[in-house]
């Protein structure tokens, strides 16, 4: 019993000594973990993370941001373990690949006393994160529907192209449908186009063959919208007043809005830059004299020709 206690004391003292050396280095180490950029939105996120890293490290010489990306949930869990064991991070900014498999690894980081910032996708247990930064999926659906209602009247027809069958897609779609209810606008059908240009093109071709009268398309995503526009142009139905609403904030789409494009007149923001917001807030937790923990839900802003310029990043890959 005595031996056990003294062992425990020794371990604790050792841990405290280690912790104090970490402090003695006088560096605030922040690990930033997110999925490998294998599609356009994630590539944009990667770009914004790198921009934020350069900006914050220049601003605060004692802040060290360590960016790590991982190709799957298992690899991300290992990467997070390495951030703790190798870098002994003081804070973790994490965009989890999937909620379930990453909850435990993040919980373990929390036990080391590090500050936890979770981005976009939540974890399965409440209360792990100190800061939560996310886009607003239901709001994206709602804002899109509100815009549709300003342009359409009772009896008009729309078709919906959804993403990959996931919670994110359901949240957007359900909020859109709830907002459209009672407007008198007919939703002819909805199909999954998997946030993909090719699928957007094919699904829209089939919708055009099937429905002779379509007044608007909710493509939910800018990549899908590109396929939809190509299908409309091919069928020669791009000139009859039909319009397409995508989402996310792809630079080409925003450029089009700035140029006064009528086929895709607006976009709804779901910014890949949210990782930069999360990094800013996390650094602020160490540098600000005000409290920063809490939830930061970014607005699903409607991007119009008037405000497009402030969302345009021509150097980003997205």
8 A C-beta contact, residue 246 and residue 273: no
Cβ neighbours of residue 11 under 8 Å, at least 6 residues apart? none
Which of the ranges 20-28, 56-64, 140-148, 203-211 carries the binding residues for other proteins, by CB under 8 A? 203-211
Least CB distance to other proteins at residue 180 (A): 16
Instruction: Report in angstroms the alpha-carbon separations of 68 from 49, 230, 242, 318.
Output: 10, 36, 43, 19
Which of the ranges 104-112, 128-136, 205-213, 281-289 carries the binding residues for other proteins, by CB under 8 A? 205-213
By CB under 8 A, is residue 189 in contact with other proteins?
yes
Choice from 156, 171, 174, 198 touching other proteins (CB under 8 A): 198
Residues 93-122 that bind other proteins (CB under 8 A): none
Least CB distance to other proteins at residue 144 (A): 19
Quick one: 98 or 206, whose CB is closer to other proteins?
206
| CA dist., res. 283 & res. 279, Å (int) | 6
Which of the ranges 85-93, 112-120, 190-198, 303-311 carries the binding residues for other proteins, by CB under 8 A? 190-198
- The two three-digit tokens of residue 87, written as one number: 């870098």
Choice from 33, 163, 190, 275 touching other proteins (CB under 8 A): 190
Choice from 33, 137, 186, 196 touching other proteins (CB under 8 A): 196
The contact pattern for other proteins, residues 156-185, with x = CB under 8 A and - = no contact, is ------x--x--------------------
| CA dist., res. 279 & res. 105, Å (int) | 20
By CB under 8 A, is residue 150 in contact with other proteins?
no
**Residue 54 — φ and ψ, nearest 5°?**
-60, -45
Least CB distance to other proteins at residue 34 (A): 12
Choice from 205, 286, 287, 307 touching other proteins (CB under 8 A): 205
Instruction: Report in angstroms the alpha-carbon separations of 202 from 168, 189, 196, 227, 283.
Output: 22, 15, 10, 8, 45
Give CB contacts under 8 A, 24+ apart, made by 231-235.
Answer: 231/200, 231/201, 231/202, 231/204, 231/205, 232/204, 232/208, 232/263, 234/205, 235/205, 235/208
Choice from 49, 68, 158, 226 touching other proteins (CB under 8 A): 226
Q: What is the DSSP letter of 255?
A: H
By CB under 8 A, is residue 247 in contact with other proteins?
no
Least CB distance to other proteins at residue 114 (A): 28
Q: Quick one: which of 117, 140, 165 has its CA closest to 270?
A: 140
- The two three-digit tokens of residue 107, written as one number: 């919980």
By CB under 8 A, is residue 38 in contact with other proteins?
yes
Quick one: 255 or 295, whose CB is closer to other proteins?
255
Determine which helix (DSSP H) or strand (DSSP E) holds 281, and give its type and residue range: helix 274-287
Q: What is the DSSP letter of 127?
A: T
By CB under 8 A, is residue 206 in contact with other proteins?
yes
Binding footprint of other proteins on the chain (CB under 8 A) = 36-40, 42-44, 46-47, 162, 165, 189-192, 196-198, 201-203, 205-210, 223, 226-227, 230, 234-235, 252, 316-318
């Amino acid at each position: 019993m005595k031996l056990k206690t003294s062992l425990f004391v020794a371990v604790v003292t050792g841990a405290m000594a280690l912790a104090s050396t970490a402090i003695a280095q006088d560096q605030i180490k922040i690990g930033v973990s997110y999925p490998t950029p294998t599609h356009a939105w994630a590539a944009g996120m990667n770009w914004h993370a790198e921009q934020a890293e350069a900006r914050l490290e220049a601003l605060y010489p004692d802040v060290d941001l360590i960016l790590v990306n991982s190709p799957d949930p298992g690899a991300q869990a290992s990467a997070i373990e390495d951030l703790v064991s190798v870098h002994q991070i003081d804070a973790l900014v994490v965009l989890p690949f999937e909620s379930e498999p990453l909850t435990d690894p993040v919980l373990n980081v929390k036990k080391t006393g590090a500050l936890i910032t979770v981005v976009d996708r939540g974890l399965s247990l409440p209360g792990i994160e100190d800061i939560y930064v996310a886009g607003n999926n239901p709001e994206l659906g709602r804002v899109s529907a509100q815009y549709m209602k300003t342009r359409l009247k009772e009896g008009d027809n729309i078709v919906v192209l959804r993403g990959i069958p996931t919670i994110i897609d359901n949240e957007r779609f359900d909020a859109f449908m709830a907002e459209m209810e009672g407007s008198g606008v007919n939703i002819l059908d909805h199909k999954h186009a998997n946030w993909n240009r090719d699928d957007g093109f094919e699904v829209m071709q089939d919708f055009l063959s099937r429905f002779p009268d379509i007044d608007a398309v909710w493509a939910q995503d800018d990549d899908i919208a590109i396929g939809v526009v190509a299908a409309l142009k091919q069928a020669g139905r791009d000139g009859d007043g039909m319009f397409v609403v995508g989402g996310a904030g792809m630079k080409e789409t925003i450029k089009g809005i700035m140029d006064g494009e009528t086929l895709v007149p607006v976009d709804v923001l779901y910014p890949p830059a949210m990782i930069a917001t999360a990094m800013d807030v996390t650094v602020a937790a160490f540098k600000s004299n005000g409290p920063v923990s809490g939830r930061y839900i970014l607005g699903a802003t409607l991007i119009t020709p008037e405000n497009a310029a402030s969302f345009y990043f021509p150097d980003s890959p997205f």
